[in-house]
Amino acid sequence: MLRFLHLIKYLPFLRFAYTDLKINIIYDREILLVFIISVFVKLIKQNIKFFIFTITMKFLIYLLLVFFVVILEKIAKTYLIGGGDLKLIALLYFIYNAEYLFLSLCLSFFLIMIRIYYYQLTRKAGKLLFIKMGENATELIHIVFAPFLALGLFLSLLII
């Protein structure tokens, strides 16, 4: 039963992956809607003091993540990850817990490395997962992250 509930909570992440693939945007209003529904569900299930503590801690961790990404972008002097992806990671952390988040991120990055390795071998970017930035293959490649995160979350739901 618990696995079924986790799969139901997984459905919005499929929608986010789809919109990220199709139009390269994760809508804030969709993330906010899922967040609000999750807040109401958690309020019903949890004590209000524990809920306030939990949401405060998760928000502070989200701010730490944003700060870390901004610092890395300043050091690298390039764009690393989009705001929608950061919000999606925060939503994953809010809906599930840190265990699912870290396993999902590790699996997502592993899948991205496999995809990049495949790209290096074949030089076929594909329409779905990569968009070439520039005319030659040596320039930067933009990775659509939400599908990899959704797949990593799905695999982590199966593993845990």
The whole-number pLDDT of residue 137 equals: 47
Instruction: Measure the N-to-C terminal CA separation of the chain; round to a whole number of Å.
Output: 14
Q: What is the DSSP letter of 1?
A: -
**Paired tokens of 29:** 């209003």
Q: 98-122 and 83-95 are packed helices; what angle lies between their axes, rounded to 10 degrees?
A: 140
Domains of the chain, residue spans: 2-159
pLDDT string in tens for the chain (160-residue length): 677 887 888 999 999 999 988 888 888 899 999 999 988 888 888 888 888 888 888 888 888 888 888 888 888 777 778 888 888 999 999 899 889 999 999 999 999 888 878 777 776 655 445 545 445 544 556 778 899 999 999 999 999 8
pLDDT of residue 124: 62
Per-residue pLDDT, 81? 81
From 31, 37, 36, 38, select the one nearest 16 (Cα to Cα): 31
Distance CA 4, CA 79 (A): 37
Task: Determine the pLDDT at residue 134.
Answer: 47
Nearest to 130 by CA among 4, 1, 56, 20: 20
The confidence score (pLDDT) of residue 143 equals: 78
What one-letter code names the amino acid at 50?
A: F
